[in-house]
Every structure is written in C-alpha cells, then in structure tokens.
C-alpha cells in the first residue's frame, strides 16, 4: 500500500509491504520518504504482527477481566475494532 501526505512544509510518502512469515504471523516493512525544507530523508522499519481470529480476541478480552461493549467494522476500519471496559 502507498500513501502520501502533502502539506506546505512537509511531504511524506509511505510504502508498506506485508509478508506472511508463518501461519498467524506477518512481517510488515514500512518505508517512509520525508521531504522538508528542500531535503529528503528515508526511514525504514520492520515489525512482526500476530494475526488472531475474532473469537481469540473475545476470549482474550474476557480473560483480561474486561467486558466487551461493542465491535465496529467498516470501510475505514477494515480489520475491526473491539471496544471493552474494565469490570467494576
């Protein structure tokens, strides 16, 4: 995926590459090109992220002593968001 931000004093281009490392784990390489004051700099970072099912998230929320309030998913939130609160 490629994103770009253009403001009067800064421009940022971001590229990310997602690779399956093993079942349930992906590695994401982030590449950022930042332009500021006529100069450009390049930044790179790699992270490994675990992939879990919705049920695994629900189970973890309950195990942590939290109450699931809602689950939201949509065009802007493709992977979904769990909203929980601590039980009193």
| Alpha-carbon gap, residue 14 to 78, rounded angstroms | 19
List the beta bridge partners of residue 49: 26
Q: Which domain holds residue 61?
A: 53-88
Q: Are residues 62 and 42 in the same domain?
A: no
List the beta bridge partners of residue 67: 85
Q: Are residues 75 and 47 in the same domain?
A: no
37's CB contacts (< 8 A; 6+ apart) are 9
What CATH number does the domain containing 23 carry? 2.20.130.10
pLDDT of 41 higher than 90: yes
Q: What pLDDT score does 84 carry?
A: 96
**Mean pLDDT, to the nearest integer, of 48-70?**
95
pLDDT of 68 higher than 70: yes
pLDDT of 56 higher than 80: yes
How many structural domains does the chain have? 2
**How large a percentage of the chain has pLDDT more than 90?**
76
């Amino acid at each position: 995926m490629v994103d770009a931000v253009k403001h009067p004093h800064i421009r940022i281009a971001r590229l990310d590459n997602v690779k399956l490392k093993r079942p349930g784990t992906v590695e994401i390489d982030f590449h950022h090109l930042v332009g500021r004051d006529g100069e450009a700099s390049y930044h790179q970072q790699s992270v490994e992220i675990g992939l879990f099912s919705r049920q695994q998230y629900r189970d973890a929320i309950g195990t942590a002593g939290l109450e699931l309030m809602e689950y939201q998913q949509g065009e802007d939130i493709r992977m979904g968001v769990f909203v929980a609160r601590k039980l009193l």
